[in-house]
Every structure is written in C-alpha cells, then in structure tokens.
C-alpha cells in the first residue's frame, strides 16, 4: 500500500511537471502564431499597396503611349504636308 502511495505521488508530480511544460509550450506557440499573423497582415497590406502602385504605373504608361502615338501621328502629318509643299515648289 505504501508502495502504491509513493508511485501515485511520483506519477502525480510527473504529470504536473509535464502539464506545466505543456502550458508553457502552448503559450509559446500562441505567441509565435500571433507574431506570424501580424507578419501576414503586414505582407497583405504591402501587397495591396504594391498592386495599387502597379495599377497607377500601368495607367500612366498607357497615357504616355497614347500621347506618343498622337505625337507620331502629328509628326507624320507635318512631314506629309512638307513633302507636298516641297514637291509643289519644285514644279514651279
């Protein structure tokens, strides 16, 4: 009976020690999870900002391309007019 009581005390002490370590480990893991959630939120925010900046850059590039195309068209029209004037002056 005394042997059973001693084993029970040892088992109880061991289970309490393991239980405390498990609680500490759980708290440590929860802290790491919270830290990772914060980092994921920051990464998502950074990604959204980058997406917005990319959309803005794309819109500006499209506007610049349209302006360049208009300028090329105006230059081609001016070149055609000058060509006609030159040919007309050579005919005289």
Parse the chain into domains and list their residue ranges: 1-92
pTM tops 0.75: no
pLDDT at 47: 98
* C-beta pairs of 22-26 under 8 Å, 24+ apart in sequence: none
CA dihedral 41, 42, 44, 48 (to 10 degrees): 140
Residue 90 to residues 76, 77, 87, Cα–Cα distance (Å) = 21, 20, 5
User: How many residues can be counted in the chain?
Assistant: 92
Angle at 68 between CA 64 and CA 70, to 5 degrees: 115
Q: In the chain, which residues have pLDDT < 70?
A: 1-21
Residue 14: predicted pLDDT: 62
61, two tokens: 């590039």
Report the distance separating Cα 38 and Cα 67, nearest Å: 44
């Amino acid at each position: 009976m005394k042997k059973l009581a001693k084993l029970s005390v040892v088992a109880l002490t061991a289970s309490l020690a393991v239980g405390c370590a498990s609680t500490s480990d759980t708290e440590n893991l929860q802290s790491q999870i919270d830290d990772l959630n914060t980092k994921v939120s920051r990464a998502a925010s950074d990604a959204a900002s980058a997406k917005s900046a990319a959309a803005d850059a794309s819109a500006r590039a499209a506007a610049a391309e349209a302006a360049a195309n208009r300028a090329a068209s105006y230059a081609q029209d001016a070149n055609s007019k000058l060509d006609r004037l030159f040919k007309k002056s050579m005919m005289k």
